[in-house]
Amino acid sequence: MLILGIESSCDETAASVCEDFRNIRSSVISTQIEEHKKYGGVVPEIASRRHCENILEVTKQALKDADVTLADLDGIAVTYAPGLIGALLVGVNFAKSLAFAAEKPLIPVHHIAGHIAANYICHKELEPPYLCIVASGAHSHLIEVLSYTEFRVIGRTRDDAAGECFDKCARAMGFPYPGGVHIDNAAQNGDSAAFKLPHPAVAGTEYDFSFSGLKTSVINMLHRADQKGEIIDKNNLSASIQRTISEIITEKTMKAAEEFGYKKIALAGGVSANSGVRSALGNACAERGFEFYMPELSLCGDNAAMIACQGSYNFAAGITADESLNAVATMPIDNIIY
């Protein structure tokens, strides 16, 4: 089975061809990061316009790299929710037209389900059920992956996502957008015990996250230092932020695994590229004898290989869309409406 995947939910235009669920024949990503850097974050209208310009070329390249034609495909999968609405609309409309012209089924894919599926590409033995922590620029979710197409959310962020916290702290320290990776790099040369940062608790549920308190405390610390003319060591602060976020994610995930009886844990989303999160969660799983899965670095951020892979599972489960498919900016993964 050959599925073409298309992704345009944020600032990456991507296309990929996936064979038999988990084998990636091609994966092309055109990133807009350099352009959005000037503004310190993604400018939605610019993102939509760049997708519009690049999507055909990226798709042609993905077909060429995979050595297939449109006629060889069994279906065309596309991210339709959640994400920036204008950005999503470009991908949805393009995929819809392609499916119509090539007379192929159109397969809708939820972006977070795609991030989770990145693990199937890297770990051929991984099968549901398992517990997955998804941490990205827009989401922090603890998810029970019940099957390839069924998800139950145990915990979610009440305010900022983990990636947003990394990015806003990074911005306050003067690092360019997106700052997560800069904090990761600076942390390699820092002392993670240098600053004591809060582990915000969320009243009401044990598994929900809150990262805005941590962000605010970092921003306040930097402002106070600035007013007093003091210099804060960015490597030490980066290492302390990374350690705190890693601890919060690891503590909640381990608690949920024990309570809900999961011995198989996966990590997904852009923040899964973070070296501190990868090792903290990996070590905690090893201590408990749990199996631990995470995507290779090239599949942590937004890409279309994960969309093509999840699209293959959706297609096998009979999930297809008709010509009325629309883009949706917000859609919880435990209430996906196809």
List interacting residues with ligand KG4 (CB under 6 A): 10, 136-138, 163, 166-167, 178-181, 184, 269-271, 273-274, 301-302
CB of 271 to ligand KG4, least distance (A): 5
Which H helix or E strand runs over 129?
A: none
Is 30 within 8 Å of 10 (Cβ atoms)? no
How far is the C-alpha of 42 from the C-alpha of 45, rounded, in Å? 9
Specify the stretch interacting with Zn ion by CB under 5 A; choose among 39-47, 116-124, 205-213, 299-307: 299-307
CB of 203 to Zn ion, least distance (A): 29
CB of 109 to ligand KG4, least distance (A): 13
Beta strands in the chain (DSSP E): 2-7, 12-19, 23-31, 75-81, 106-110, 130-135, 140-145, 151-156, 264-268, 291-293
Interactions with Zn ion, residue window 188-207 (CB under 5 A): none
CB of 103 to Zn ion, least distance (A): 30
Q: Which residues of 218-232 are buried (b: 16+ CB within 10 A; e: fewer)?
A: beebbeeeeeeeeeb
Residue tagged 């306050």 (tokens): 172
CA 246, 249, 250, 251 dihedral sign is positive
Is 254 within 8 Å of 246 (Cβ atoms)? no
Q: Which does 163 bind (CB under 5 to 8 A by kind): ligand KG4, Zn ion, none?
A: ligand KG4
Nearest to 56 by CA among 45, 44, 70: 70
Asked if 164 is part of the footprint of Zn ion (rule: CB under 5 A), the reply reads no
Nearest-10 crossing angle of helices 162-172, 234-260: 170
Cβ-based nearer residue to ligand KG4, 144 or 167? 167
Cβ-based nearer residue to Zn ion, 13 or 136? 136
Asked if 246 is part of the footprint of Zn ion (rule: CB under 5 A), the reply reads no
Q: Which does 91 bind (CB under 5 to 8 A by kind): ligand KG4, Zn ion, none?
A: none
CB of 234 to ligand KG4, least distance (A): 15
Asked if 302 is part of the footprint of Zn ion (rule: CB under 5 A), the reply reads yes
The 118-157 site mask, x for binding Zn ion (CB under 5 A), equals ------------------x---------------------
CB of 38 to Zn ion, least distance (A): 22
In the complex, the residues that contact Zn ion under the rule CB under 5 A are 136, 302
